[in-house]
C-alpha cells in the first residue's frame, strides 16, 4: 500500500512527525484490508488559517481494488486527532465496502437445493 500525504495549506506544511503519524494510523486502520488498498491519498490543512477553532482537517481518498474509491473527511481542533479520526473512519468504510461486495458476490449463481428425505410432489402426485 502506498500512502501519499500532502498539505492543502501552505502555512501548515507536513513535518516528519505529522507524516509519521499519518503513515502509522493509516496502516493500523487499514490492516485488515491492506492487500485490497493499493493507494491512499491524505490531505491535511487548516480551514480558517490563523483564526483558530475546530478547523484542522484531514481528507482521505482510499482506492479499493475492484470498487469505487472511499472518501472520508474529519475536522478537529488538533491535527493529530483529525488524522486519527479520519484514519479510523476510513478503515471502517473500506472494510464495510469490501465485506458488502463479498457478501453479494457469494450469493450469485445457482445455489444447490438442499437434499431432504421428504417425498417430492410431481404432476402425478406424491412419488
CB 50 within 8 A of CB 12: no
Q: Parse the chain into domains and list their residue ranges.
A: 1-89
With 0.85 as the threshold, say if the pTM is over it: no
Instruction: Give the SS3 label for residue 42.
Output: strand
Question: What does the mean pLDDT of the chain come to?
Answer: 82
Mean per-residue pLDDT, 48-68: 84
64 Rama class: left (phi>0) / alpha (psi -120 to 50) / beta? beta
Q: What are the tens digits of pLDDT across the range 72-100?
A: 999 998 999 999 999 999 999 999 998 88
125 Rama class: left (phi>0) / alpha (psi -120 to 50) / beta? left
Confidence of residue 113 (pLDDT cuts 50, 70, 90): low
Homologous superfamily of 1-89: Ribosome hibernation promotion factor-like (3.30.160.100)
CB contact set of 90 (below 8 Å; sequence gap of 6+)? 26, 29, 30, 40, 60, 62, 70, 72
Q: In what helix (H) or strand (E) does residue 18 lie, and over which residues does it extend?
A: helix 16-29
Amino acid at each position: 500500500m502506498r500512502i501519499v500525504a500532502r498539505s492543502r495549506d501552505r502555512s501548515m506544511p507536513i513535518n516528519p512527525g505529522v507524516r509519521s503519524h499519518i503513515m502509522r494510523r493509516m496502516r493500523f486502520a487499514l490492516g485488515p484490508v491492506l492487500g485490497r488498498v493499493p493507494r491512499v491519498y491524505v490531505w491535511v490543512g487548516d480551514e480558517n488559517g490563523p483564526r483558530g477553532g475546530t478547523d484542522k482537517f484531514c481528507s482521505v481518498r482510499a482506492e479499493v481494488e475492484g470498487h469505487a474509491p472511499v472518501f472520508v473527511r474529519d475536522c478537529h481542533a488538533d491535527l493529530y486527532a483529525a488524522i486519527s479520526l479520519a484514519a479510523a473512519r476510513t478503515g471502517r468504510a473500506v472494510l464495510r465496502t469490501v465485506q458488502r461486495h463479498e457478501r453479494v458476490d457469494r450469493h450469485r449463481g445457482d445455489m444447490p437445493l438442499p437434499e431432504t428425505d421428504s417425498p417430492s410432489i410431481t404432476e402425478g402426485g406424491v412419488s
